[in-house]
Amino acid sequence: MSSFWKDINSYTQGQKRALIFIWIIIILVVIFNTVHERHLQKETTNPVLDTVLTKIANDKYITKKEIEIIEIKEIFNPNIDTKEIMIEKGVPPKIANNIFKLSTAGKTYRTPEDLKTIYGMTDSIFQIIEPYINIPPTETIQKTEKRITNYRKFNPNTTTSKELIEMGFSEKVTKNIINYRKSGATFENPSDLQKLYSIDSTLYNEILVYIDIPPKEVKLEIKIVELNTSTAQEISKSTNIDLNMAYKIINYRDRLGGFLNYEQLNNIEILTPETIEKITSNTWIDTLQIKKLSLNGVEYKELIRHPYATKEITDKIMRYKKFTEKINSEADLIKNRVVNKQEIKRLRPYISYE
């Protein structure tokens, strides 16, 4: 002991203070642990643990209570009963809906255990429902699905459920056909029946020769188009003439300024009488769409393009324009022998004096 104090006295002042500080920390830790074990741990840990356990117990109780509400009233067949019927018999709505969805899609429940795969079906719920599940043996189902005995022509798009049953279709196959139609789908051809899971290849081959789906009526609506404003594609489609021929018509129409009548089509050399007849039968002419050339403002190259303005007529009109301030009317042209009456008659619908 004397050597212990002797050693301490040999320390410097800084070392002595550090040693005292360490002793104080050690003493405080020992005191805290002692108090915590005797008082704090008993007072805090137990209530917290009790709270957690209570919550777990309550959660389990709530789940159990919800399950206890389920009360099945009658035996049900998941292969035949609708969602509404199963709900009426006590099956929880969500479970009934999921059972019916798979059944409609073609699922066949062959044993009660097959319902364990239903989404939302817990072991607790299944234990309640299982005694009320009535599924005929597999053999019975197979025999039922093969009991067509009264074959005759039928249209799956219009045949009623009663008629299908009378023909020998099972209730399951009948229900799937009707539900397919209710969904808004249509059997376009016999092979569409194979989309139903309840109709296998064997059954399909048995009934194939009796499936009678009338072909859809194809209505060809020929749209009558306006000849002075239509495109070449529209004219070709409406009249059923060659597209290149339609472009020839458009080119002549644009040079002319628009058609006044169908007789003008005879000026297009490529058109035969039969083609003109097709155009006449499937188009109409709006003369208000005719575009006029103003003689007082027209350029030489514009006027000479017009089918009714020959080079001679064009040259005379352009020379006359140089000697007069304005061409006022066709009377001026005839009086000054620029054009004759026959020539002005053809040009009249396509010129103006603005």
pLDDT (0 to 100) of residue 106: 74
Identity of the highest mean pLDDT range in 21-30, 102-111, 163-172: 163-172
Closest CA to 227 of 189, 263, 174: 263
Instruction: Assign 30 a pLDDT band (cuts: 50, 70, 90).
Output: confident
Instruction: Tell me: do 122 and 150 sit in the same domain.
Output: no
- 87 inside domain: yes
- pLDDT at 144 > cutoff 60: no
CA–CA distance, 74 with 78 (Å, rounded to integer)? 12
CA–CA distance, 16 with 12 (Å, rounded to integer)? 6
- pLDDT at 315 > cutoff 90: yes
Domain's final residue, options 132, 150, 169: 132
pLDDT (0 to 100) of residue 66: 58
pLDDT (0 to 100) of residue 65: 55
CA–CA distance, 287 with 349 (Å, rounded to integer)? 10
- 16 inside domain: no
Mean pLDDT of the region 172-196: 90
Mean pLDDT of the region 325-330: 89
Q: What are the CA-CA distances from residue 233 to residues 20, 220, 251, 273, 329 (Å)? A: 106, 17, 13, 21, 39
Structure tokens given for 148: 């067509």
pLDDT (0 to 100) of residue 350: 94
- pLDDT at 9 > cutoff 70: no
Q: How many domains does the chain have?
A: 5
- Identity of residue 300: Y
Instruction: Tell me: do 302 and 343 sit in the same domain.
Output: yes
Owner of token pair 């309640």: 128
Instruction: Tell me: do 102 and 50 sit in the same domain.
Output: no
- pLDDT at 46 > cutoff 50: no
Instruction: Tell me: do 237 and 273 sit in the same domain.
Output: yes
- 313 inside domain: yes
Instruction: Tell me: do 283 and 256 sit in the same domain.
Output: yes
Q: Identify the CATH number of the domain in which residue 203 sits.
A: 1.10.150
First vs last Cα of the chain: how many Å apart? 136
CA–CA distance, 165 with 171 (Å, rounded to integer)? 7
The secondary structure of 255-305 as a DSSP string is HHTS-SSGGGGGGSTT--HHHHHHHHHHEE--GGG---EETTT--HHHHHH
DSSP state of 133: B
Closest CA to 70 of 16, 126, 141, 22: 126
The dihedrals phi and psi of 218, each to the nearest 5 degrees, come to -95, 110
The enclosing H or E element of 102 equals: helix 93-104
Structure tokens given for 10: 């040999």
- pLDDT at 308 > cutoff 90: yes
Digit-coded pLDDT (tens) for 208-260: 888 999 987 665 555 789 999 999 999 999 999 999 999 999 999 999 999 99
The enclosing H or E element of 126 equals: helix 123-129
- Give the range of the structural domain holding residue 105, as residue numbers without chain letter: 83-132
- 67 inside domain: no
Instruction: Tell me: do 167 and 147 sit in the same domain.
Output: yes
Instruction: Tell me: do 314 and 269 sit in the same domain.
Output: no
Instruction: Please tell me whether the overall predicted TM-score, pTM, comes out greater than 0.95 for this model.
Output: no
pLDDT (0 to 100) of residue 152: 87
pLDDT (0 to 100) of residue 37: 63
- 319 inside domain: yes
Question: In this predicted structure, which of 59-68, 269-278, 306-315 has the lowest mean pLDDT?
Answer: 59-68
pLDDT (0 to 100) of residue 55: 46
Mean pLDDT over the full length of the chain: 82
Q: Helices 171-182 and 93-104: crossing angle, nearest 10°?
A: 100
The enclosing H or E element of 180 equals: helix 171-182
Instruction: Tell me: do 308 and 328 sit in the same domain.
Output: yes
pLDDT (0 to 100) of residue 39: 56
